[in-house]
């Protein structure tokens, strides 16, 4: 059993608050020109699902697409490089985009995706991360919207895993020691 860092109730409240923050800076969106959420798979899928529902409740026109990336493999240590495992189906040219990711730690993934989307012609690229571990930063990057700042421990739950396990937990907890 993992130690709870962020409760399920705090998760839900913060997701709603982030949606309100996004709405406050998202003027000019319409159903024909919606905000595009780019969900970084796999870790951010639960957060992205809750966030798009919260944005709907805030009347923010929103679409979603998915970008599969890998930097961890099967363990708890980053491989030091980012690779695309599943590309977007949506043309991002001229679009307002928010990248939705689970954790901002080294900054490599977020920086990689920002550069990728800008190079593809996105109008504006902002970032939203559920968890921030600033002491792990290797690349200078800061999220526009952040759920929680957490200590430098490996976490599971709310879509995040260790070697595929723990994604379904409704809270954020510490990862059990790797066997």
Residues near 102 by Cβ (< 8 Å), separated by ≥ 6?
40, 43, 44, 47, 129, 130, 131, 158, 159, 160
Average model confidence (pLDDT) across the chain: 91
pLDDT band at 179 (very low <50, low <70, confident <90, very high): very low
**Domains in the chain: boundaries:** 7-24+33-151
pLDDT of residue 162: 86
In the predicted model, what is the mean pLDDT of residues 31-52? 95
User: What's the CATH code, domain 7-24+33-151?
Assistant: 3.40.50.2020
Give the separation between CA 71 and CA 119, rounded to whole angstroms: 21
Give residue 165's pLDDT: 86
pLDDT of 48 > 60? The answer is yes
Catalytic residue among 105, 132, 152, 161: 105
Question: Which pLDDT does position 178 carry in this prediction?
Answer: 42
Residue-wise pLDDT for 91-146, tens only, equals 999 999 999 999 999 999 999 999 999 999 999 999 999 999 999 899 999 999 99
| Average pLDDT for 19-35 | 94
Residue 105 annotated as catalytic = yes
The arithmetic mean of pLDDT across residues 37-54, rounded, is: 96
Using CA atoms, how far apart are residues 69 and 62, in angstroms rounded to an integer? 22
Alpha-carbon gap, residue 142 to 127, rounded angstroms: 8
User: What percent of the chain lies above the pLDDT cut of 90?
Assistant: 76
pLDDT class for 13, splitting at 50, 70, 90? very high
């Amino acid at each position: 059993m993992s130690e709870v860092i962020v409760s399920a109730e705090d998760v839900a409240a913060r997701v709603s608050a982030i949606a309100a923050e996004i709405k406050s800076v998202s003027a000019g969106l319409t159903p024909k020109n919606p905000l595009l959420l780019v969900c970084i798979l796999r870790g951010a899928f639960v957060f992205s699902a809750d966030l798009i529902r919260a944005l709907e409740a805030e009347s923010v026109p929103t679409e979603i697409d998915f970008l599969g990336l890998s930097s961890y493999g099967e363990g708890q240590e980053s491989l030091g490089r980012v690779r695309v495992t599943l590309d977007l189906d949506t043309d991002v040219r001229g679009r307002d985009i928010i990248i939705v990711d689970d954790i901002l730690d080294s900054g490599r993934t977020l920086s990689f995706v920002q550069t990728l989307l800008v190079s593809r012609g996105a109008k504006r690229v902002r970032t939203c991360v559920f968890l921030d571990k600033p002491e792990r930063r290797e690349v200078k990057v800061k999220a526009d919207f952040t759920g929680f700042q957490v200590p430098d421990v490996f976490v599971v739950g709310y879509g995040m895993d260790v070697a595929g396990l723990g994604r379904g937990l409704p809270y954020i907890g510490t990862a059990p020691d790797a066997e």
